[in-house]
Amino acid sequence: MTQATLSLHDGDLALPVRTGTEQEVGIDITMLRGSTGAITLDPGYGNTGSCLSAITYIDGEAGVLRYRGYAIEDLASHASFVEVMYLLIHGELPSAAQLSSFKSQLSLHTLLHEDMKKFYEGFPPRAQPMSVLSAMVASLSTYYDAEDDLNFVRMLAKLKTIAAFSYKKSIGQPFIYPRNDLDFVEDFLHMMFAVPSERYEVSPVVRRTLDMLLILHADHEQNCSTSTVRMVGSSGADLFSTISTGISALSGPLHGGANTAVISMLRAIRADGADYGKYVAKAKDRSDPFRLMGFGHRVYKNFDPRARLIKAAADRLLEELDRTDPLLDIAKNLERVALEDEYFIKRRLYPNLDFYSGIVYRAMGLPTSMFTVLFALGRLPGWIAHYKEMRENRDRLHRPRQIYVGSTLRPYVPVSHR
């Protein structure tokens, strides 16, 4: 086995080097503190591998993304979201019999306990659907036994019901119950857009596009929300409580919330006369907090493969629906101007999956407030796969260290002397 040598305090320590199946190299420092008293410092964990994982492979330099060894482009063109859920969680694509039994399990567990509907009455009318989603998912843990094997299926089946009910609540329409005769994505669209007074037909092109978008969001190895899930899950917390923390982590604008922020940015640029140069200059100005939302990624230093697929889907969907979206033109022009700019070239900043996803959601008639909820629906099988892997591998409690930089010991001063 290859070793790395660390020289510290006049001594050398041999550290084992672990190589993954795609030849990724990691220096194993498990013994570091015990042997030397020192720790590593890596704010934001940009250089830290927190686990061994067999779920998703990313090569950010080459723009490669694979789930369980399958290229994202292949899965996006040929698989369904339900197959991808199964693949991520169980490690293999399902056989026809496995797929059919998985689908029927997913339809059998879509209903919420009737009492849970009352929770929606307590949320204010303008409640953010992501906050409602997180709260509702956490409350599932009050209904089901923590160790029940059915919880994975329950979580997968119920999240879309919770999501659609949150939307209905936000617009004051009655909840539409799940229908077992519809497939996963059709059922979600039906619960979102149907009303009791009218017939609603799910558009096949919208169904197909949403299915693909969910596949593209399904996992992304140790991103902020997935690491949160592994962190919280490592304490032994139950599945529902753990997933609700993943939803909270995803809601931030630097993570899943970026898809909403991109649309606000594109709207602002349009209202300001579509002066792309001005906004690119703002993004480059260190004294200005503005960033080009939907641009840049911690891991991709090349095109995010998901962004290419989503951009093509946006073009296809608008064409099939015979619609145009001025924000799509703004986005394409902004991308062109940014990609020709030295600042973005030097830092290798490219559009990420959030840059075009909002355009697709808009074309489907989904409101901006639901964009990040859609991301959560897509990311759920990834969170579950990591939770399951972490438990099966019996990962240790996640508990990072720190370098303390506060005051040294000082005596307590009574309030009368301060």
Query: Which residues form the catalytic set?
Result: 297, 354
DSSP state of 18: E
Does 263 interact with ligand CMC (rule: CB under 6 A)?
no
Q: Which stretch binds ligand CMC (CB under 6 A): 168-176, 191-199, 348-356, 393-401?
A: 348-356
H-type helices in 202-238, by residue range? 204-217, 224-233
Q: To 5 degrees, how large is the angle CA 123–CA 126–CA 130?
A: 75
Q: What angle is formed at CA 218 by the lines to CA 314 and CA 254, rounded to 5 degrees?
A: 75
- Asked whether position 130 contacts ligand CMC by CB under 6 A, the answer is no
Q: Which of 302, 328, 309, 320 is nearest to 213 (CA)?
A: 309
Q: Which of 8, 52, 254, 312 binds ligand CMC (CB under 6 A)?
A: 254
Residue closer to ligand CMC (CB basis): 199 or 286? 286
Residue 361 interacts with ligand CMC (CB under 6 A): yes or no:
no
Q: Which of residues 136-155 bind ligand CMC (CB under 6 A)?
A: none
Residue from 18, 90, 291, 316 binding ligand CMC (CB under 6 A): 291
**What is the per-residue burial (b if ≥16 Cβ within 10 Å, else e) of 286-319?**
eeeeebbbbbbbebbeebbbbbbbbbebbebbbe
From the list 233, 246, 296, 382, which residue makes contact with ligand CMC (rule: CB under 6 A)? 296
295 binds ligand CMC (CB under 6 A): yes
At its nearest, how many Å lie between ligand CMC and the CB of residue 395? Answer: 22
| Choice from 55, 87, 106, 353 touching ligand CMC (CB under 6 A) | 353
| Residue of 298, 308, 332, 398 interacting with ligand CMC (CB under 6 A) | 298
End-to-end CA distance of the chain, in Å? 59
Q: How many residues bind ligand CMC (CB under 6 A)?
A: 20
Specify the stretch interacting with ligand CMC by CB under 6 A; choose among 56-64, 133-141, 171-179, 290-298.
Answer: 290-298
Instruction: Supply the DSSP string of 142-194, one letter for each residue.
Output: TTS-TT-TTHHHHHHHHHHHHHHHHHHHHHTPPP----TTS-HHHHHHHHHH-
The mark string for 206-225 relative to ligand CMC (x by CB under 6 A, - otherwise) is --------------x--x--
What angle, 0 to 180 degrees and rounded to 10, lies between the N-to-C axes of helices 326-339 and 305-320? 150
DSSP E strands, 363-406: none
Query: Interface residues with ligand CMC (CB under 6 A)?
Result: 220, 223, 254-256, 258, 283, 291-298, 347, 349, 352-354
